Structure 1
Amino acid sequence: MYYLDVVAAITAVFILHRLSKRKHSPYSHLPLPPGPKGLPLIGNLKDLPSGFEWQTYHKWSRDLNSDIIYINAAGQTIIVLDTAEAVTELFEKKSSIYSDRARMPMINELMGWSFNFAFMPYGMHILFCFSVGST
């Protein structure tokens, strides 16, 4: 009877692990950059360095032949950029694709404050028209 409980617990952990790997973001179908192989559930948590992190990340980058590497630390996604060229490409040249203000449905949609510049997404242009009446 004890073995049945152990098998049920292992099965439950396996099912939870498979369900946790499913992402509900619109980008979940896109491939991740290459990264070191990790263990189930904890990923690369045991492989993460405690000191001189940049040396380990650079070594992994050279081993995987990629400027961008992916690390999974117990379900937490970590993306490491190894070269200045990769940083410039993603953070400066393509910054308009990857950055934006947080969506605030309570303020924008429900309260109707979407006209306020502080709550507008980046790149959104609104034409303000003022009517001038004759007196």
Structure 2
Amino acid sequence: MSPEVSSGDFFHSPCGTQWVIVFVLNASGINGLKDGKYVFAVRPVETSYGDDILYDLFPADKLGWTTQSVFDERDVYQLAYEDFAIHGERDQFVQLRREDGSTEFAWRWRVAFNMMRGTDVPLEAEWRQATAGEV
């Protein structure tokens, strides 16, 4: 595992499913968690009514194979039903440019989710914690 994982990076769980890291948590003194680094990650799962968003908290030292997301300038993504081109990156954010030249920032994980799934995070999706068989 790469020691420097961050928001928007991908990893594959032991059963081979791909996840997007939303944020990294350095836990210390939290009830129910051993001290250490964790990642909160999400992935889509298709259901009969659309997509659900699975989430879970993973110990960072047990992530397995990880990769950093790479956003090339001028790559086009659709977020909230609007097309944007990548204009730049800053920490956990990606700067997006509209066709009219105006810009806004989006979370890296959301653009990485779009890269992984081919669509934006569905607004109507049900968010639920992954079960043991879904990790």
TM-score by length of 2: 0.19
Greater share of helix residues, 1 or 2?
A: 1
User: TM-score if structure 1 supplies the norm length?
Assistant: 0.19
Q: Per residue, is there more strand in 1 or in 2?
A: 2
Higher Cα radius of gyration: 1
